[in-house]
Amino acid sequence: MNAATASRARGRGALPGLGLTLGMTLAWVSLIVLLPLAALAARPWQLGLAGVWHSLADPRVLASLRVSFGAALAASLLDLPLGLLLAWVLVRYRFPGRPAVDAMIDLPFALPTAVAGITLTALYGPNGWLGAPLAALGVKVAYTPLGIVAALVFVGLPFVVRTAEPVLRAFPAEIEESAETLGARPWQTARRIILPALAPALLTGLGLAFARAVGEYGSVIFIAGNMPMVSEVAPLLIVIRLQQFDYGGAASLGLAMLAASFGCLCLVAGLRRAVTPAVR
């Protein structure tokens, strides 16, 4: 038996032992991810269908979901141009301190969310460095939904930067150069050539930033006013229900958030597939 037949006899394709490793990986993923999700999905039904409906059809619950998802959407949409700009500068330009800026992009990942929240509150509060001049202009950031968006922009920025960077880096310079030789102005090149190529990566970044922003608690809880119906986020409402030992109610709200987030992420994935050029 020569080497080729021997490897074929060991397993399908180039990866020997694929069956075993795939099985182990699936088992591990199930344990870590699916089991807790299944537990969450099973919890609310203790209350019965009517109980779950009553628990969710509360104007306060709906307002909190609006605040959470609305702020997350606004923040991730704001992150798109900001993140793209940052990624562009990091990839296309050389300047002193570039490695430092590059490392600082990852700070929102590294910083504990509570620290981020307290710092942002100190910054945007009525006597903070940014909050005081803004208050003089009549703009209140802290303790309003605007503050929530500010915190979520901070938290979601690295996602957009880090997903756009590799695509920008790998973008062949020849394409831009040929567009220039064919008479395209820089703005046309950007709109017609570069942005469509970046679109899938940007949508991935958007999806990631949105997913992170929707469930944020630590960085939001200090800067939000937590006023019911106005600036109360859904994770806080879950904590409030736990505080009342209403585990079923908390789980039903968690399940609602899970379902809504899943729907949004499916939407983003569909959009991404639509803008990805077909592989010939």
Partner 1 sequence: MKRRVFAAALPAVAAALAWTRAARAATALLNVSYDPTRELYRDIDRQFAADWQARSGEAVAIRTANGGSGAQARAVLDGLQADVVTLALAYDIDALAARGLLATDWQSRLPDNSTPYTSTIVFLVRKGNPKGVHDWPDLIRPGVAVITPNPKTSGGARWNYLAAWGWALRRPGGSEEGAQAYLASLFRQVPVLDTGARGATNSFVQRGLGDVLLAWENEALLARDEIGHDAFDIVYPSLTILAEPPVAVVDSVVDKKGTRALAEAYLAFLYTPAGQETIARHHFRPRDKAVAARHAAEFPAIETFDIASLGGWRAAQARHFADGGLFDRIYTPGR
Retrieve residue 237's tokens. Answer: 């409402």
Token pair, residue 230, equals 């106005």
38 binds partner 1 (CB under 8 A): no
The secondary structure of 154-168 as a DSSP string is: HHHHHHHHHHHHHHH
| Binding to partner 1, residues 80-109 (CB under 8 A) | none
> How many whole angstroms separate alpha carbon 218 and alpha carbon 128?
20
Collapsing DSSP to helix, strand or coil, 19 comes out as helix
Give the dihedral of Cα atoms 80, 224, 259, 277; nearest 10 deg.
0
Rounded to 5 degrees, φ, ψ at 265 are: -70, -35
Per-residue binder mask for partner 1 (CB under 8 A), 165-184, x = binder: --------------------
User: From residue 140 to residue 169, what is the string marking binding to partner 1 with x (rule CB under 8 A)?
Assistant: --xx--------------------------
When asked if residue 66 is in the footprint of partner 1 (CB under 8 A), the reply is no
| Binding residue for partner 1, selected from 221, 233, 255, 256, defined by CB under 8 A | 221
Rounded distance, CA 79 to CA 203, Å?
A: 11
Residue 219 as a binder of partner 1 (CB under 8 A): the answer is: no
Kindly tell me which residue out of 41, 43, 111, 246 binds partner 1, with binding defined by CB under 8 A.
246
| Cβ closest to partner 1, residue 162 vs residue 241 | 241
DSSP, collapsed to helix, strand or coil, labels residue 54 as helix
Structural tokens at position 144? 């309003």
Residue list 114-133, contact with partner 1 (CB under 8 A):
121-122, 125-127
158-166, 167-175, 206-214, 225-233 -> range binding partner 1 (CB under 8 A): 225-233
Which span sits near partner 1 by CB under 8 A: 78-86, 181-189, 221-229, 251-259? 221-229
Nearest distance in Å: CB 50, partner 1: 15
Quick one: which segment of 65-73, 82-90, 173-181, 217-225 binds partner 1 (CB under 8 A)?
A: 217-225
Total interface residues for partner 1 by CB under 8 A:
27
CA distance 153 to 174: 34
Distance CA 94, CA 164 (A): 18
Name the residues that contact partner 1, by CB under 8 A: 58-60, 121-122, 125-127, 142-143, 221-222, 225-229, 236, 239-246, 249
